[in-house]
Structure 1
Amino acid sequence: MLICTPEDVEQITGKTKYKAQLRALREMGIPHMARSTDGSPLVAVAVVETMLGVKVVSRGTPAPQLRRPAALRGSGHEATQKG
């Protein structure tokens, strides 16, 4: 999961102080959490993108593309072929 950077949160809220950012996020209805160590807001990028109507494509690792070894390509040898 990707988390908005502090600069992203400042741009979203228009605020620089953590408490003001948390208040603005709450008022905008943006789900968030406050980091327990310093009180800075944590906002998932996907939440903001969804609220803005951005179509999100999977950010996961792409599935591996399997290829047949060159020695087997076009050789006519198949696993079920007897010879």
Structure 2
Amino acid sequence: MTTVESFTLSSESPRTARAPQGHGTSRARGALFTAMLALAAVLVLVVLTAGTALPVGISVPLALGAIALVAGGWALGGPRV
């Protein structure tokens, strides 16, 4: 009796397996994403704690800046799908 190795779409033979590409850039993207989210969190904390003392002309742009940081962090350094 001969046994046959099972093959699925997710398994690859050693000849067709690819080496990971851009390993260092994924870490850099993760660090960028983390740094931008941390800065956005600090901005939100400032707006929430000093929001009543700040004029609307300052607090609204700070909040919009935090939103822009989160969106930019996701676009530049977020996970690649």
Taking structure 1 as the reference length, the TM-score comes to: 0.23
**Higher RCO (C-alpha 8 Å, min separation 6):** 2
Higher strand proportion (structure 1 or 2): 1
> Larger radius of gyration, structure 1 or 2?
1
